[in-house]
A and B are shown apart, each in its own frame.
Chain A
Amino acid sequence: MEIGLLKRLCDAPGVSGAEDEVRVIAAEALGPLVDELSVDPMGNLIGIRHGTGPKVMVAAHLDEIGFRVSHVDDKGFLRLMGVGGQWLETIENQRVVVNGRRRLPGVLFREGGWLRADALSSSDTGPRKMDDYYVDLGLPREKVVEWVEIGDPVTMDRHAVDMGDMVCAKALDDRAGVFAMIEALRKLGKHEAEIYAVGSVQEEVGCRGAKVAAYGLSPDVAIAIDVCPARDTPGFQEHEYIAALGKGVALTISDAGTIADSALVESVRGIAQSRGIPFQIHAVTHVGGTDASAMHVTRAGVPAMTLSIPTRCLHTSSEVARRSDISACSELLAAFLGAAHKAAAGAARRIK
């Protein structure tokens, strides 16, 4: 596993709609692994490995949650608009990068939040609002307006690090998926399927990239590679332990956006069992969603499911995933792609 590539992917800034840097890294890695490589009108990166069999679309999204600059005040402080599902309780006292004409570091604080710096008991509670937060660039307004424009993307300033067998990084959602997809193509042996490996854009704002990519590619079957929330940390009751780190790739059979095609799930499960690839079943109904949600309702419908990498602290600047699970994910994907010409036939239930 080329962990350096995963770290480079995670560290690159790529808020929805501004995925350029991530796309460059992914394109470089995908290049030698595919027969065709292109970028579609919305920015999706599409690699094609030719085959004669069914058309299999694999999607992992390039974008990450983040912010855009919405206002520069009289003193040069920035206000932000959230992009994607922010967890507002985790962004105070974090460092960010404004990716404008210059790459500027800043610190993210909450209005009035740090004035009681030395007070141990804060009376300031209740839900946080995005409007309460601002960025301090340590610069006077004149400099700020020279280098920063409204709309500039802002990302968390956190580098990927090792933690035991785990990786801790911003944007593991979904660079871990992009990485697993690339690794799967590296591991892939003989295959008959026509394989579309898509680095999709704008998943975090509603799977907009996957929607048009699926339309354009018209696949027979689709697999999203994404992260899913692990609930194996303090404070969860035992019956809530859905997806845990170290137990293998998660076969997501349902989430808030998709009910996976059951025949496809059975094929994939069978492959995992016969290859001895560790997996766990992940089923929730009320939270989360992946590119599968857009792909499975494309055109007249595409059998789809998600292979998920269990991840702690999702949508924070320190997401945590386990290498062995990422590995299991890429192995299972490679095995499925190799067998898709048999599996997909049984999985697809196209209406003629």
Chain B
Amino acid sequence: MDIELLKRLCDARGIPGSEGEIRELAAAALEPLVDELRVDPLGNLIGIRRGSGPRVMVAAHMDEIGFRVSHIDDNGFLRLMSVGGNRVDALASQRVVVSDRDAIRGVLFLEASVVRKRNEPGEKQAPRMEDYYVDVGLNREEAMRFVRVGDMVTMDRDMIELGEGFSGKSMDDRVGVFVVIEALRSLASHGAEICVVGTVQEELGCRGAKVAAYGLCPDVAVAVDVCSAEGVPGAKDYKDSCALGKGVALTIVDQGTISDRRLVAFVTQVAEESLIPYQIHMGARGGTDARDIHQALAGVPTMSLSIPTRYVHSCSELVYRADVEATIALLARFLEKAHETTFGFGERLNSGTAASDCQ
């Protein structure tokens, strides 16, 4: 496994709509692995490895949750707008990077009046986004030179190897992007036409995947993303939907998607045959690009291959090495065998006008 690449992907900054840096990294890694490589109008990175079989779309999103600068006050302190599902009650004393023009560092902190109020007995109000400010160590005039309203703000946490895994600010979903690249690297012969997509704006509602699926018109699709692993203190056993170290998670249902049963059955069989550790996962919360892909055109059989992750949407998301390896292996073996089945082609409903829109 190319840990160095995973680290570069994870440390790159890219909130929805500002995925440029991560796209460049992913494009450089994909370039030798595909026959065609392009960027679509919304910014999705699309690589195609030709084949004669069914068209398989593999999506992993490039964006991460974060913030944008919404205001610069008289003393040079910044106010932020949240982008994506931030846990806004747990941001105090986090370090951030304000980028777009120059990358400058700052500290996220709670307004004093809010801290004071929080310490009053009986206070129930959790901190809200507007209670935070960023100190960049500059007065207003200096701050205006480096920062504009709208600039991207991301967490300042580099990826490290931690115990049996990796911890970083945006495993969600750089580890997915990484898995797709590594799977292509280890891919043997295949019959399927493989379309790998680094999607944009997943964290704001799978907007990139939606248009990419429309354009690619796939016969079958797999989203590679993280899923929440709950085996931590305070969790009830019956809430454990997947665990670190037990292999790739086959997501059969989450809040956005009910996975195609034939596809799940086929992938399960591939995992069994190839002796790849896997677990069945039902996600009580969250969703992946599968949500918009499976509803594209007249419908696409879709599922998610998920990497179990603790502390999703924190800046210390934690994945295990063995699970990442299992996900890479399963995706590669699946792509090699994807032409051996039809995924219910006969039942496809999009052979009429919609087909003419396909490229």
Q: B235, A320: Cβ atoms under 8 Å?
A: no
The 8 A CB mask of A113-144 against B (1 = contact, 0 = none) is 11111111111111100000010111110010
**Contact A233–B133 (Cβ < 8 Å):** yes
What is the 8 Å Cβ interface bit string for chain B, positions 73-113, against chain A (1 contact, 0 not)? 10101000000010111111111000000001111011111
Chain B residues positioned under 8 Å from A110 (CB to CB): 90, 234
CA distance A107 to B233 in the complex (A): 13
- B233 is contacted by which of A111, A143, A231 (Cβ under 8 Å)? A111
Q: Is the CB of B239 within 8 A of A115?
A: yes
- Which stretch (A40-48, A163-171, A203-211) binds chain B? A163-171
Q: Is B119 an interface residue (CB 8 A)?
A: yes
| Cβ of B204 to closest chain A Cβ, rounded Å | 13
B235 near A136 with CB under 8 A, answer: no
Interface pair A233/B314, CB less than 8 Å apart: no
Q: Is the CB of B233 within 8 A of A73?
A: yes
Complex: A83 Cα to B186 Cα, angstroms: 49
**Within 8 Å CB of A313, what residues of B?**
93, 107, 109, 135
- Of the candidates A89, A105, A121, A122, which one forms a contact with B167 in the assembled complex, judged by CB atoms under 8 Å apart? A105
Bound-state Cα–Cα, A89 to B164, Å: 28
Given known A73-B233, A105-B160, A234-B73, contact A125–B89 (CB-CB < 8 A):
yes
Contact A77 B142 (CB under 8 A): no
Which residue of the partner chain, among A77, A115, A312, contacts B135 with CB atoms under 8 Å? A312
Main secondary structure of the interface of A (DSSP, over half): loop
A118 to B73 Cα, complex, angstroms: 30
Contacts of B311 in A (CB 8 A): 93, 107, 109, 114, 117, 136
Contact status of A89 and B118, CB under 8 A, knowing A236-B112, A318-B93: yes
Query: Whole-angstrom distance from the CB of A7 to the nearest CB of chain B?
Result: 14
Q: Is the CB of B228 within 8 A of A117?
A: yes
Chain A CB within 8 A of B163 CB:
yes
Contacts A95-B167, A138-B162 given; does A115 touch B230 at CB 8 Å? yes
Known: A95-B157, A107-B311, A115-B230. A165 touches B137 (CB 8 A): yes
Cβ–Cβ < 8 Å partners of B110 in chain A? 89, 235
Task: Indicate whether A161 reaches chain B with its CB closer than 8 angstroms.
Answer: yes
Are A111 and B94 closer than 8 Å at their CB atoms? no
The answer to whether B190 has its CB under 8 Å from any CB of chain A is: no
What separation, in Å, do the CA atoms of A164 and B75 have in the docked complex?
A: 14
A115 to B284, CA, bound (A): 11
B267 within 8 Å of A (CB atoms): no
Count chain A CB atoms within 10 A of each CB in B88, B135, B142 and give the residue with the most.
B135
- A60-91 interface bits toward B, Cβ cutoff 8 Å, 1 = contact, 0 = none: 00000000000001010100000000010111
Known A93-B315, A138-B318, A231-B112: A107·B119 in contact at CB below 8 Å: no
A112 touching B312, Cβ below 8 Å: no
Q: Which residue of B lies closest to A73 (CB)?
A: B233
Known A117-B312, A312-B135; contact A138-B126, beta-carbon cutoff 8 A: no
Instruction: Please tell me if the beta carbons of A112 and B320 are within 8 angstroms of each other in the complex.
Output: no
Report the interface size for chain A: residues with CB under 8 A from the other chain: 63
A158 at the interface (CB under 8 A from B): yes
Task: Find residues 209-238 in chain A having any chain B CB closer than 8 Å to their own CB.
Answer: 231-236
Q: Is A254 an interface residue (CB 8 A)?
A: no
| B320 and A117 form a contact (CB under 8 A) | no
* Structural contact, B123 and A93, CB atoms closer than 8 A: no
Known: A118-B286, A122-B87. A164 touches B142 (CB 8 A): yes
Asked whether A117 and B93 contact (CB < 8 A) given A124-B126, A164-B137, the answer is no
The smallest beta-carbon distance between A148 and chain B, in angstroms, is 11
Q: Are A235 and B316 in contact (CB under 8 A)?
A: no
| Contact of A161 with B105 in the complex, beta carbons under 8 Å | yes
Given the known inter-chain contacts A118-B228, A165-B137, A233-B133, please indicate yes or no for A136 contacting B310, CB distance below 8 A.
Answer: yes
In the bound complex, residues from chain B placing their C-beta under 8 Å from that of A235 are 110-116
Collect the chain B residues with CB atoms within 8 Å of residue A127's CB.
118-119
What sequence of 0s and 1s flags, for each residue 300-323 of chain B, a beta carbon within 8 Å of any chain A beta carbon?
000000000011111110101000
Q: Which residue of A lies closest to B244 (CB)?
A: A138
**Which chain B positions have C-beta within 8 A of A123?**
126
B205 within 8 A of A: no
Contact status B109-A233, CB under 8 Å = yes
Say whether, besides A77-B233, A164-B138, A105 and B105 are in contact (CB < 8 Å). Answer: no
B125 within 8 A of A: yes
> Which residue of B has the minimal Cβ distance to A318?
B107
B316 partner, pick from A95, A112, A318, beta carbons under 8 A: A95
A317 interface residue per 8 A CB criterion: yes
Chain B residues with Cβ below 8 Å from A164 are: 104, 136-138, 142
Q: Which residues does chain A contribute within 8 Å of B315, judged by CB atoms?
A: 93
Q: Is B358 among interface residues, defined by CB-CB distance under 8 A?
A: no
**B76: nearest chain-A partner, CB-CB:** A164
B163 touches A139 (CB 8 A): yes
Identify A136's interface contact among B92, B123, B232, CB under 8 A.
Answer: B232
Point out the residues of chain B lying under 8 angstroms from A111, CB to CB: 232-234
Q: Is the CB of A320 within 8 A of B90?
A: no
Cβ-closest chain B residue relative to A321: B137
Contact A75 B162 (CB under 8 A): no
In the assembled complex, the Cα of A106 lies from the Cα of B111 at a distance in Å of: 28
Interface residue A38 (Cβ < 8 Å from any Cβ of B): no
Q: Determine the distance from Cα of A255 to Cα of B208 in the docked complex, in whole angstroms.
A: 57
Q: Complex: how many Å from CA A167 to CA B8?
A: 26
Q: How far is the CA of A73 from the CA of B114 in the complex (A)?
A: 35
Q: Which of A106, A122, A158, A234 contacts B77 (CB 8 A)?
A: A234
Which residue in B112, B116, B119 is a CB contact (below 8 Å) of A234?
B112
30 sample A-B contacts, Cβ–Cβ < 8 Å, listed by A number: A77-B232, A90-B92, A91-B93, A93-B311, A94-B94, A95-B157, A95-B316, A105-B162, A107-B316, A109-B232, A117-B285, A117-B311, A117-B312, A118-B228, A118-B286, A121-B126, A124-B126, A126-B124, A136-B318, A139-B163, A140-B164, A163-B106, A163-B136, A163-B138, A233-B133, A234-B112, A235-B112, A313-B107, A318-B93, A320-B135
Interface residues of A, Cβ cutoff 8 Å to B: 73, 75, 77, 87, 89-95, 104-107, 109-127, 134, 136-140, 143, 158, 161-166, 168, 231-236, 240, 312-313, 316-318, 320, 322
List the 7 closest A-B pairs by CB distance, nearest first: A138-B163, A112-B234, A235-B111, A163-B137, A235-B112, A111-B234, A90-B93
Inter-chain pairs besides A73-B233, A125-B89, 15 sampled, C-beta below 8 Å = A92-B90, A93-B87, A112-B234, A114-B312, A115-B228, A115-B232, A116-B87, A116-B285, A117-B314, A119-B285, A122-B126, A137-B162, A164-B142, A234-B112, A235-B113
